[in-house]
Structure 1
Amino acid sequence: MESLITAVREQNEAARFLAWPGDFDLGRGDHVEEVHLASGAALEGFAGNGAGGTYFFCGEGGEERPILYADSEGCAALVAIGLPELLRLLLVAPWWRDCQAFTEGESRELAAEYLQEMPDLVARRERAAAALDLSLSDQADVLARLREVAVRAGEDFVLIFTPEGNPYEPLIRN
């Protein structure tokens, strides 16, 4: 089975959508600071965004590993268990970093803003998902899963700013 990272690199439609509005770039895997997981598990930066945030695979293995996102402001959260789940989040709710309460209403408002700027967003998302052979869930399910992963499983994935030994703040709170 081909890796999803390879598929993203090879599928222009998917790569363009993930680059914008997904703000996900496989060429930005280096984090701005030296960091490690409190557990001592392996941490591998593999993508980032334009604001200096980084996506990390946690632990050993392949694309099924948990994925932690750290922003450039000292906040971090576990955002997905495996690359397929992360890509679904970026395809369905590329505005996830702007969510504060993770309510359906908040997500609808953010979606409306994106659709106003990009009327072809849904069609582009569908083509990108098809190119990657990913089935998509609705916004409410995707954001509920993000919150569940960040709050429940995320407790075991605390990112530490190595030079000072300080933990990053939770990006997503209870």
Structure 2
Amino acid sequence: MGSLLAAVRENEDAARYLARPGDFEPGRGDHVEEVHLASGAALEGFAGDGGGGTYFFCGTGGEERPVLYADSEGGAALVAIGLPELLRLLLVAPWWRDADQDDAGAEYLDDMPDLPARRDRAAAALGLDLPTEAEALARLREVATTAGEEYVLVLTSENEPYETFPMFRSAR
């Protein structure tokens, strides 16, 4: 099986959907500041977003590695176990960063009524079965609040940990 990141880059429907509304840009893995994991495990930036955030693979291996997201404001959380899980989240809930707001998904659908059809084309192109939005967001919360405790991102220059996103603090 080939690389899922390569498949995203090669498929126009998938790349376009993941760029907007997903705000996911493969290849933009340089973070705004030098960071490392408190555990000392490897950290590899592989994608970014328009606001200066970065998606990192944690540890060694391939696309099955845990994925940590760090924004440009000092917040971070483990968001998926493996790239397929991250892409499923971005496909069904591209508004995941606003998931603590009840109407986040509705606002996206109001702005882009063709979203479900575009999402389905992108998922089919990548060979991904999609969970429901509720399942994807429940899994996000589970990963961030359980497995995520082992993945603390540290601002290297100050040796200070990034903050946990507010939506995951109350779940701990």
Q: What interval of TM-score do these two structures reach, taking the shorter chain for normalisation?
A: over 0.9
- How far the C-alpha of 1:7 sits from its partner, in A, is 0.3
Distance 1:48 1:163 in 2: 21
Cα deviation per residue 1:129-166 (whole Å; 9 max; x = unaligned)?
Answer: 00000000001100000000000000000000001100
SS in 1 for 2:55: strand
Show the counterpart of 1:22: 22
Q: 1:142 aligns with which of 136, 143, 166?
A: 136
Show the counterpart of 1:52: 52
Distance 1:100 1:159 in 2: 22
For the pair 1:151 / 2:136, whether they are aligned, the reply is no
Distance 2:6 2:28 in 1: 15
The TM-score normalised by the length of structure 2 is 0.96
- How far the C-alpha of 1:112 sits from its partner, in A, is 1.2
For the pair 1:84 / 2:84, whether they are aligned, the reply is yes
Question: How do residues 22-171 of structure 1 correspond to structure 2 at under 5 angstroms?
Answer: 22-100=22-100, 106=102, 109-171=103-165
Unaligned runs of 5+ in 2: none
Distance 1:99 1:9 in 2: 27
Distance 2:27 2:143 in 1: 25
Show the counterpart of 1:7: 7
- How far the C-alpha of 1:28 sits from its partner, in A, is 1.3
Unaligned runs of 5+ in 1: none
- How far the C-alpha of 1:21 sits from its partner, in A, is 0.1
Moved over 3 A (4+): none
The TM-score normalised by the length of structure 1 is 0.95
Distance 1:130 1:99 in 2: 25
One-letter amino acid of the counterpart of residue 10, structure 1: E
Percent same amino acid at aligned positions? 73
